[in-house]
Structure 1
């Protein structure tokens, strides 16, 4: 589905906006990955390791077959839960269809979105504005909107960070049922090891683990996070 060879990724908004031609700050170093259709991949690593940069690069490469659920969420606060989720279907219809649905929601979308919200344990009225929802509820609205794109690949950047571990485990099972492939940055290391079939770990922009989850050494994972904490303490 996707092969990445010798990827060096640079990012510097100042250099990019000035058109200086400088490549700026390097965030990924010599990344080599192959992701197959059907893979359930968890990307882990300490803060600043380059996880989100890698995830967004993967989405850019797969954007025509992948739905992205980002940390920013991008919800429209003054619109209802229904309309925020329906945004996932905008590309499937013409502007006139979407405009009519904005004014008078179509029953088939109301039914489909209510069913999806039930699956994602979002027990709020579809008419409720999202600015009245809790952080965990907003996160599930963003999750539902991505799912409603109905793409074979789901790409998520810590989409469960505001949810309790038990709910996160239930929802990941739903995502696996709804998508052929799942690629996700996961904060919960136990969730990554127990529910995904493959784990990719980053440290300082480099891939240091790429292995089936049942072959990952938990001590190696813990050491990865501990070494980052130690490095930060020394720097301070």
Structure 2
């Protein structure tokens, strides 16, 4: 599905990761771990760019900053997950006067992420956790088999984060996520990739990665 072989990945002109050998197979749930600034987002962005080119329409994204339009409603931001799947005229109609079928579809997704009854609220009025749930709703509404997520549940509490991650796992066959929570990683990951000092130093099945090895990622 995705292969990076000995590649150098940069942010602008700054090299972030070197000699990257990374693959993503169908059905895997891969979690990237490492200190802030270690290169998790850089690897996610590279993976997303490749996958969306190779498999257009089959990849959903939850970016770190949510990527929402604050002035628009929760409904509109969620609906926008499928803009490229409809004609311009159909999209314009639903952005001005949503069809019942689209309202019902979005309402179901919002219920799944804990935003029932909030479809008409402008995103600018939401809390940080609600904004993140809206970004998750947009990704779920988009659908496809693959989810790329950059800290997709960082703004919600531990219990709800676990529920939302499971909701995502139930909807997407393959996931590539950057997380900061070890317990959450243990819950969901089939494979763990650890990043430190500009390199991928761990890349093994989750069951084979010790807590000591994970702890070492966060200490110099």
TM-score normalised by L of structure 2: 0.95
Deviation per residue, 1:183-212 (Å, 9 max, x gap): 100011221123211111101220011111
The answer on 1:29 being equivalent to 2:38 is no
Contact 2:10 2:42 in 1 (8 A): no
The correspondence for 1:190, drawn from 183, 190, 213, is 183
Pairs aligned (count): 216
**Alpha-carbon contact 1:41-1:200 (below 8 Å) kept:** yes
Per-residue displacement from partner, 1:23-74 (whole Å, max 9, x unpaired)? x321011011121001011111011110000000000010122111101222
Alpha-carbon RMSD across the aligned residues, in angstroms, is 1.1
Alpha-carbon offset, residue 146 of structure 1: 1.5
What secondary structure is seen at the aligned counterpart in 2 of 1:226?
Answer: coil
Partner of 2:60: 67
Which residue number in structure 1 is paired with residue 34 of structure 2? 45
Output the CA distance in 1 between the equivalents of 2:182 and 2:7. Answer: 25
Tell me what 1:214 maps to.
207
Could you say what secondary structure the match of 1:225 adopts?
coil
Residue of 158, 162, 166 corresponding to 2:155? 162
CA distance in 1, matches of 2:23, 2:11: 23
Q: Residue 7 of structure 1 aligns with which residue? A: 7
**Matched residue SS, 2:115:** coil
- Tell me, in whole angstroms, the C-alpha distance in 2 between the residues paired with 1:99 and 1:124: 23
Aligned partner of 2:168 in structure 1 is 175
Q: How many angstroms does 1:171 deviate by?
A: 0.8
The alpha carbon displacement at 1:96 in A equals 0.3
The match for 1:130 among 116, 123, 130 is 123
Deviation of the 1:75 alpha carbon:
1.2
Quick one: distance in 2 between partners of 1:213 and 1:194?
10
Q: 1:92 and 1:126 mapped to 2: Cα distance?
A: 21
Larger Rg: 1
TM-score (normalised: structure 1): 0.89
Runs of 4+ in 1 over 6 A off after TM superposition: none
Determine the structure 2 residue equivalent to 1:58.
47
After TM superposition, the structure 1 stretch with the greater mean CA deviation from structure 2, 74-83 or 120-129, is 120-129
CA deviation map 1:160-182 (0-9, x unaligned): 11011111111111111111101
Segments of 5+ residues of structure 2 without an aligned counterpart are none
2:219 is paired with a residue of what secondary structure? Answer: helix
